Amino acid sequence: MKQVDFVDLGKSPYQETWDLQTAIQQRLIDEKLAVRKGASFEKRSHDVLLFVEHPHVYTLGKNGDLSHLLKSEDELTGINAEFVKTNRGGDITYHGPGQIVGYPIMDLDRYFTDIHKYMRSLEEIMIRVCADYGIEAGRIKGLTGTWVGNSKICAMGVKCSRWVTMHGFALNVKTSLNYFNNIVPCGIADKGVTSLEQLLGREIPVSEVKEKLIKHFDEVFDVEVKPAKTLPEFEQDFAYFKDRVI
């Protein structure tokens, strides 16, 4: 069974985490290309799953519409939020406290080279997590993400290079949903946003939801997600690649 290294970054700024993702993705790409050229490795790097909780930040996908940000940058400063243009797919979304952001950095050559199937697999994980709490979640045809009725509970946007993914999903657990009022979430004006706590009317431990996410990630991708080294050791391991961010 394939192993995926898991690292919980805790609270981390968006740009710093993006740089780390890019470094990990590049390492997986470099190793794969080297093998194709005849190189051999005693042990190739595993795929990686990062969990993180970002400070208030609005991120815009590479083809997103800037008009979907309804506040000026000065106004964002007043609510302790920042704005970042990214290289992922999708439109604009919000990340903040009480939200589990997951970044799977996976070489799809190890699984299936089908980005549509990959996105549906991420949605399936969220559907199963919601089901664990008695919530019936699903998909809306033509729209990415996981929905409860007409409200999105998990937004998704990825970038794939040489079949190695980065970016990922943002599951609202105890997120302050008022922050979504400052954008047109994912560019969809006629749909709402929700969270596990809003739907259940009670407090949900974020740690508990993380355990369920890992369990269903294992099942859907047929992998074993295992804790990697400590965060300082993990970051040191990738320090060389951080210097090569492009």
Active site residues: 186
Whether the CB-CB separation of 116 and 37 falls below 8 Å is answered with: no
On whether the CB atoms of residues 241 and 27 are closer than 8 A, the answer is: yes
217: exposed, middle or buried (C-beta count within 10 Å: 0-12, 13-18, 19+)? buried
* Residue linked to tokens 């070489």: 107
Triad 226, 229, 231: Cα angle to 5°: 115
SS3 content of the chain, % helix, strand, coil (to 5): 40, 30, 30
100 CB neighbour count, 10 Å cutoff: 23
Q: What is the DSSP letter of 91?
A: S
b/e code 16-40 from CB counts within 10 Å (16+ = b): ebbebbbbbbbbbebbbeeeeeeee
What does the block give as tokens for 9?
Answer: 């970054």
The SS3 of residue 103 is: strand
